[in-house]
Amino acid sequence: MTSILTNSSAMVALQTLRTVNKDLTSISSQVSTGRKINSSADNAALFAVTSVMQADVAGFNAISESLALGKASVSVARNASEKVTELLRDVKEKVVAAQEDNVDRTKIQTDIDELRNQITSIVSAAQFNGLNLIDGSVTTTNTNTNTGVDILSSLNRASDGTVTTGSIGVDSQNLSQVAGLSLAAAAASVGTDPGVAGTLEANDGGTNDSIELDTFAFLDTAGGATGTSASTAKTAGVDDTLNTGVLAGDQMSLTIGTVKGTYVVKEGDNEASIAAGVKNALIAAGLNTDDFTLDVTTAAGELIITNETNEDVTFAFEASRGTGGLADLLTLDVSTAANAATALTDIENLIQTAVDASAAFGSSEKRVGIQQDFVQSLVDSFEAGIGALVDADMEKASARLQALQVQQQLATQALSIANSSPQSILSLFR
């Protein structure tokens, strides 16, 4: 039966043409955009996954910029520390030259002063975008619980979708020549100083040939000095402006003759561990243990130093908080033979301080660089994964496009034939 009102063949041909045109539109979109998923309508699940991944890629790109900024800041500090080390070596040459009697120590001192001024200039100028890691201006606590800064280093997404960030802590190194807060005698001092003040008399079997470093008090969170060990001000909430007690980071310096030993108090140190630390520092600095007996009494928490020689020897004790690592450079003096001998010990300590700072910054810079490379590799992996999910297979799309174009032509031709079928009915009425 043929109907002029309902053309079933044309309807079938039209439906086929619509399907082909729809597929052709989809393939054309893939060819023009290079993506098989352009919206959530194409594939809601994959679109959601890739959207999150793309957001993470944007976050990691920002982290990469943060790492680059942080690396530059650390690099400036490292270069400055290394340059300061070089200048301190030059100062050491001058100090060594001053050990000779037949020299003009005044001119040598002038050279040392100029080198000191240059070091001050370098330390002051060692900033990047306003951040100076070596002049003592940083007071914040980093993730290492030390004074320093944090560099944003990672974006961490948990399985439940929770996002957190990670940081690399960079410790600041104080290479300034600014003296810090001097601690009161009640906080740390030589408790017994018999005889002439500041003198260890020649050994005669009496009491004047020994001193006892046995006075220590530790700050507490109540604003007093009743603690039993050294705490960190930032983590314990201690008022670090008080000089009546000891905190972690305080420096204890004991000079015996021309030998100066410096110990930096660590968190948890008690009286005995500080006494032992000062003893070890003196030995490391070169104090002759045949000339001086150093006994640590653990129970009493004291260091007893006895002069075993036949000559009087001077001594001095200093306790301070936040002292610039190069503060002793301000008082470096070679005007006399005795001062030159003391300066030789001091300059060794100063060089070691600068070397330690350079090494610390070098390690931090290397770590930041490693993280920077990892983040870039991670971004590349993310982008490759996103591409595998949403990018179109261009070879397949090309072949499919040509096939659909042929199908479109055939469907159009079939529709034309189906539309002309009712025309044959007219012959029945001639």
Exposure string of 256-284, with b = 16+ CB inside 10 Å and e = fewer, is bbbbbbbbebeeebbbbbbbbbbbebbee
Q: How many residues are there in the chain?
A: 430
| Residue 370, phi then psi, degrees to nearest 5 | -60, -45
CA 346 → CA 200, 259, 260, 285, distances in Å? 21, 8, 7, 10
Q: Is 372 within 8 Å of 350 (Cβ atoms)?
A: no
User: Is the model's pTM score more than 0.85?
Assistant: no
Measured between alpha carbons, how far is 62 from 51 in angstroms, rounded to an integer?
A: 17
pLDDT tens for the chain, 430 residues long, are 667 677 778 788 788 888 888 878 777 777 777 677 777 777 788 777 777 788 888 888 888 999 999 999 999 999 999 999 999 999 999 999 999 888 899 999 999 999 999 999 999 999 998 899 998 888 787 888 778 899 998 888 887 778 888 899 999 998 988 877 899 999 999 987 777 888 999 887 777 889 999 999 999 988 899 999 998 776 677 888 899 999 987 889 999 998 888 888 888 899 999 999 999 989 988 899 999 999 999 888 999 999 999 999 999 999 988 778 888 888 889 988 888 888 888 898 899 889 999 999 999 999 999 999 998 988 888 888 877 777 777 777 778 878 878 888 887 887 787 777 777 777 777 6
Q: Is 172 within 8 Å of 134 (Cβ atoms)?
A: yes
Q: Which residues contact 51 (CB under 8 A, 6 or more apart)?
A: none
The reported pLDDT for the residue numbered 430 is: 66
H helices present in 189-333, as ranges: 233-236, 271-285
Measured between alpha carbons, how far is 217 from 243 in angstroms, rounded to an integer?
A: 10
Residue 117's SS3 state is: helix
Measured between alpha carbons, how far is 374 from 377 in angstroms, rounded to an integer?
A: 5
The reported pLDDT for the residue numbered 139 is: 75
Dump strand ranges (E) for 116-219: 127-128, 131-132, 148-157, 163-171, 181-182, 188-192, 199-200, 210-216
| Residue 294, phi then psi, degrees to nearest 5 | -120, 110
DSSP 294-333: EEEETTTTEEEEEE-SSS-EEEEEEEEES--TTGGGGG--
Measured between alpha carbons, how far is 430 from 420 in angstroms, rounded to an integer?
A: 18
- Count of Cβ atoms closer than 10 Å to residue 371 Cβ: 20
pLDDT per residue as tens digits for the range 260-300: 888 888 888 999 999 999 999 899 888 999 999 999 998 88
The reported pLDDT for the residue numbered 285 is: 84
> Can you name the CATH fold of 46-174+360-384?
f41 fragment of flagellin, N-terminal domain (1.20.1330)
Domain range list for the chain = 8-34+392-429, 46-174+360-384, 181-323
Q: Is 284 within 8 Å of 166 (Cβ atoms)?
A: no
Q: Is 187 within 8 Å of 217 (Cβ atoms)?
A: yes
